[in-house]
A and B are shown apart, each in its own frame.
Chain A
Amino acid sequence: MDITKAVTATEERVPRRRGRRRGGKWYLHVALSLICAVSCAPVVYAILVATQNNAQMINFDLTFGDSFLANLDTVWNDRDLGGFMVNSAIMAIIISVGKAATGLLAGLAFVYFRFPGRWIVFFFVLITLMMPTEISILALFEVTHDFGISGTMAGLTIPFLASATAAFLFRQHFANLPANLSEAAQLDGANPIQFLTRVLIPLSWNVLGALLVIEFLYGWNMYLWPLLTVNDRSDQVVQVGLASLQQSGQGQLYGPLMLGALIASIPPILVFLALQRPFMKGFAMARDK
C-alpha cells in the first residue's frame, strides 16, 4: 500500500475534519494526558531523584532536592561519565555515517548497474537480514581478536559499518525514483559518483535522515559488544560505564545513578527529536511498496 500517498491525503483532509469536530473531545484529552503522564513518569521521577540525596529519596519527596551539584560532581568528575560519552559519541557517529555511506554505494550498484551474478550478490545481502550479529557474537570476538582490533575503537565499529538494512533502504528508494534522472545525468556526462553526490543524495535526505537516526541510536545504545570486548576503562562506552554508578546491596547512591542515566540519554533523545520528521517520512517511503 502506498503510505506516502495516504499521508498526503490525510494532511489534505485534516483541516476540514478539524473544522467539523473541534472541541467536544475532552475525554480524549483526559485519556491521552493520563497515558502521556504514565509514559513520562519514569523519566520525570528520574529527574527528581537526580537532584536528591538518599535521605530525600527514601522519604518519597516528589520535589526537587538540593543535591544536584553533588550528584553531578560524582557522575562527571568522580566516575568520568564525560569520557565514556565521548567514546559513545565517536562510536555512534562512525557507525551511523559508515553504514549510510556503504548503503548509498550498494544501493547505487543494485539499481543503476546490470552485472553478471547480480542476483547472487542480492541474495548474499538479503540473507543477512536473518542473521542477527548477537547470534555469532562469541565468534565475532574471536575474529576481531585475530585481527588484533578487539577492544579498540576499530574493533567496536568496523564490524557494524555495513548492513542489509542500509543497502536495501537505498535500493528501494532509488528504484522508486524516475529512470530518466540517470539518463539525463549520463547525457550531461556525469560519472556514477557525481550522479550519486549531485542528484541522488539531494533526493534522499528523508531516507538518509531516517537511517542516520536509527543507526545513531543503534550505535549509542549498543551494550553487549563493548561489554564483551572493551577491557580498558578509558576506552569504555557510556552504556557499560554506567555500571560503575550501580552497587548491589547496600550503599547504592540513587541520585548519581539516575543523573548518569539521564545524561547518557540526552544525545539520543536530541537526535531523535531533531530528526523525527525525516525519520517518519523516510520510513513511510522505505515501506512504500
Chain B
Amino acid sequence: MTTTVPSAQQLADVARLAQEVRAQLDTVLSGLDDAVDATLATVLAEGHLLLEDVPGVGKTTLARALGRALDASVGRIQFTPDLLPSDVTGVSVFRSDEHRFEFRPGPVFANIVVADEINRASPKTQAALLESMQERSVTVDGETRALPAPFLVIATQNPIDMEGTYPLPEAQRDRFMTRIAVGYPTSADEVAMLDAHDGHDPLADVHPVATAADLERAIATVRGIYGAPAVKQYLVDVVRATRATAELRLGASPRSSLQLLAAAKARAAMHGRDHVLPDDVKALAVPVLAHRVIPSAQARGANRTAEAVIEDVIAQVAVPAARSPEPLARG
C-alpha cells in the first residue's frame, strides 16, 4: 500500500465529506457531536466502531443514519442468542437445476455492516463476525471471499452487565478501533428529538451524500496524512503511560498505538490538515484506548472508569517540544 502526500484538493474533499455526513447525522441525532466526530474518524481510518450504551439512546439510529448518508451497501444483523455464524457470513446452497453449490452471501457482504446488540449472540457467532472484521474476507466451505471495500462494522452493544449478554472478550474488543458511549442527550436535545420524530421517521430525511468510491478515496487520503516525530512521540508517551499507571491492570497494546495514530490522521484530515496535531491524539485517546484497558481492582474500588483513568493519564503527559532534527553534516 503506498501513501502519497495528500493535495490540498484531496484534503478539502475529505473535510467536505466529513462535513456533509455530519450534517446528515445531525438531522437524526442532535447533541452527539463528540460521538459523531469519533464515528467519522473511525470510518475514515478504516476502523470498526463499537457503540456501547444503555438501550434507547440512539446507537442503532446513528449506525443506520451513517449507512444511509454514505451511499453504500448496508448489511444489518440483529444478533440474538440463536444466531448462527452462517447467518452472518452466508451459506452455500445446492442448486439442483445447475447441480452445484451456490454461495448465498450473508449480511456481512456489505460496505457497512450494522451489528445490533452484538453481545447477545453466542461467542461462536461473535467470532465469525470478528474474524471477518480482522481479515476483511470470509471463508466458507474452504473458499475465501473478499469483502467489499470499504468495509466497516458498526456494532452496538448494551453494557456488559445487562441480562442475557455474552460479553466480548478483550481480544475481540481490541478489533474495534473505537468504542463510543453515546450517552443521554441534554434536555434541549431531547426536546428537539421529540420534535424531529413527531409524525415521521427522521431517518427518511437522511440523504446519501457520498458514494463508496468517495469514501474509498477519502480513506486513501487519510493514509497519507503526516505524523510528525513529535506527535508519534507524544502518542507513544500516552500509550506507555497507560501501562505504567497503577489504576490499570492492563494497559493499551501496541496495536492500539497504531489505531490511535490512524484515527488521529483521520481527524486531522477531517479538519483539512495534512498533518496530525497532538490535539487529534488527545481527542481520540479515550474512544480508542478506553475499551482496551482493564481498570485495576483499586480503580474499580474507587469507582473509577477506564475513561476517567485515561483522561487523567493524558493530563499528566507533557506535550513534547520538538527541535527540528539537525540535518546531517554533508561531505
**A joins B in a complex:** no
* Chain B residues with a Cβ under 8 A of chain A: none
* Chain A residues with a Cβ under 8 A of chain B: none
